Amino acid sequence: MKLLLTAAVALASLTTVMPAFADKLDDIIASGTLRCAVVLDFPPMGSRDADNNPIGFDVDTCNDLATVLGVTAEIVETPFPDRIPALVSGRVDIGVASTSDTLERAKTVGFSIPYFAFEMVVLTKDGLGIADYDSLKGKKVGSTSGTYEAIALEESVTAWADPAGSFRSYQTQADVMLALSQGQIDATVVTSTVAGSTIATGNFPGFIMGGTAPYEIDYVGLIALRNEQGLLNYLNLFVNQQIRTGRYAELYAKWVGEGEAPNLTVPGVYY
């Protein structure tokens, strides 16, 4: 009996000194601000308007999340290669930055269920004879460093092993478009949303789509620190609610245009 009493006292003592740890979700709510990493040279997901204000699908998604959390959204402009470093270093709370949910990235950060999905297309210039993905063999191509499409495109160039072909990476999507317009590269692979938005601006005469790229559908998730399970659970429910309420379809129509918003469920998989 004495032994049991001693153990009970020790356990009670331990529980009284154990601190209560708040998770990131609590911290965000307490701070009153949600800092979202957003890529702002990736229209229609993220860009700036004539008054230099952040706009786009990802910007609105961050704003929607901040609203349901009861906090103020802070858009932190973050280039593609800096999305994960910004999160890990604590400069942002989450990433709403069209981040492909790769297994390699999941070693470092946690992903929500997909909140968007992209199809990839070839973007080139009229008169270069590029009508489909296979036409890229032997051409100078480039893409934005660290993106899903850049990794896949570079792998294709390596597999083709054509001495006339080359791959070059760029820091931003804007750099890629400039390189294509100036003839530094012959083509790039981008999302169909980026290609359509870029051509529609009229700022790049001669830009055309050169067919679809034979890549898998690029599912992208919201990102947070991988150990913040409470926050990740909330992000999953948020995405679920965006779809159930019709907000996802509404934002798609607003920023992408006509047509049906992409299905975010992997066929044959509960996701």
Per-residue pLDDT of the chain (271 residues; tens, 9 = 90+): 544 445 554 545 545 554 555 699 999 999 999 999 999 999 999 999 999 999 999 999 999 999 999 999 999 999 999 999 999 999 999 999 999 999 999 999 999 999 999 999 999 999 999 999 999 999 999 999 988 899 999 999 999 999 999 999 999 989 999 999 999 999 999 998 889 888 988 999 999 999 999 998 999 999 999 999 999 999 999 999 999 999 999 999 999 987 788 899 888 887 7
Does one domain contain both 232 and 101?
yes
Which of 192, 212, 232 is a domain's end point?
212
pTM (two decimals): 0.80
In this structure, what CATH number is given to the domain that contains residue 151? 3.40.190.10
Is residue 8 in some structural domain?
A: no
**Given this model, what pLDDT does residue 21 score?**
59
Residues 6+ apart with CB under 8 A from 144: 80, 150, 169, 170, 171, 172, 173, 175, 176
DSSP H helical segments within the chain, as ranges?
A: 2-17, 24-31, 57-69, 83-88, 148-160, 173-181, 192-201, 229-244, 247-255
Residues 6+ apart with CB under 8 A from 167: 141, 142, 143, 153, 154, 157, 158
**Given this model, what pLDDT does residue 259 score?**
77
Q: How many domains does the chain have?
A: 2
Please report, in angstroms and rounded to a whole number, the separation of the first and last CA atoms in the chain: 52
**Given this model, what pLDDT does residue 270 score?**
74
C-alpha to C-alpha distance for 221 and 207, rounded to whole angstroms: 29
Q: Domain limits at 173? A: 120-212
Does one domain contain both 30 and 99?
yes
Is residue 260 in some structural domain?
A: no
